[in-house]
Amino acid sequence: MVNIRLGAARNSWGVTAGHVDLRREPVTPRPVTLDARPQRVTLDLARSALVVVDMQNDFCHPAGWLASIGVDIAPARRPIEALRRVLPPLRMAGVPVIWLNWGNRADLANVPPGVRHVYDPDGSGGGLGAPARPGGSPTLQAGSWSAAIVDELTPPATDLRVDKYRMSGFFDTPLDAVLRNLAVTTVLFGGVNSDQCVLATLTDAACLGYDVVLLEDCAATTSPPFCHDATVYNVAQCFGFVADSTPLVDALTVDAALTSDAALTSDAALTSDAALTSDAALASDAALASDAGGATSDGGR
């Protein structure tokens, strides 16, 4: 009997000491439908994941790098509340949450000059790896306060984390391997900046064959507003779908209720089956006892 599953929940083998079953366990579809652009869309929660991009202190905290160079970070903080609403029901539905963040090596050995220039345009020595303020932590360096997710969104240990080193989270990272190992076909996106790292990663996801949905209220940018508007237009026009998190939360609430009802129905059926089995066993025992009693009585004659 192959009764030990080896691998991710959605992509595992059955194994024992003497046998390996390569068949993946069937995954029951969990469709939810929500309003989106350019059309209403039905997605399968059992094949979906949420990727949250760069909701980090350096971009979203008043003491971070972006604020230190005079950028108004208020837009970068707007997705926080929407994410706080949508994350718990997604987790309850078993949808993987992946935090995709800048997390550079201390030596920046894999970061080319074109990327370093974004953060240090005049070559004065600021930017990646340098403290944004005297005594501060190194900008967007893996393991630093600067690269940490903002406190309001601190994830549980069950969420997944992937460090990135480019605007796109697919280049030079395990993101694609993680998604494929989770048997994901649809990727929901949120985070900052919507017109930069979010869009670059979403575009690559679409080119790799994933279905992509941008959760508009879960994404924002500190760029001029027209940059976000153009991003939303292009996602709906060229790459996938754009939706708001509110109908998704509503759909998840309905899904949770249906799942709960199904579980109760299943439990009730199991209880009923157990009761019937018990009654049948008692009746059988009573019949056997009666037969035995009759045989003894006949023998007595």
Mean pLDDT on 211-235: 98
The question of whether 261 is a catalytic residue gets the answer no
The question of whether 107 is a catalytic residue gets the answer no
- Write down the pTM of the prediction: 0.85
Per-residue pLDDT reduced to its tens digit, 140-169? 999 999 999 999 999 999 999 999 999 999
Q: Left, alpha or beta for 211 (phi > 0: left; psi -120 to 50: alpha)?
A: beta
User: Taking a C-beta distance cutoff of 8 angstroms, is the pair 232, 220 a contact?
Assistant: no
Cis preceding-peptide flag for 38 (omega within 30 of 0):
yes
Spot the catalytic one: 164, 204, 211, 218.
Answer: 164
* CA torsion through residues 35, 41, 43, 49, sign: negative
For residues 57 and 162, what is the distance between their CA atoms, to the nearest angstrom? 16
Write the burial class of residue 156 (CB in 10 Å: 0-12 exposed, 13-18 middle, 19+ buried). exposed
Is pLDDT of 278 > 80? Answer: no
Spot the catalytic one: 54, 163, 195, 204.
Answer: 54
B/e letters for 110-132, b = 16+ CB within 10 Å, e = fewer, are: ebeeebbeebbeeeeebbbbbbb
Q: How many CB atoms lie within 10 A of CB 100?
A: 26
189 or 27, which is more confident: 189
The domain spans of the chain are: 30-254
Spot the catalytic one: 60, 163, 197, 211.
Answer: 197
The question of whether 250 is a catalytic residue gets the answer no
CATH label, 30-254, candidates 3.90.1580.10, 3.40.120.10, 3.40.50.850, 3.40.50.1820: 3.40.50.850
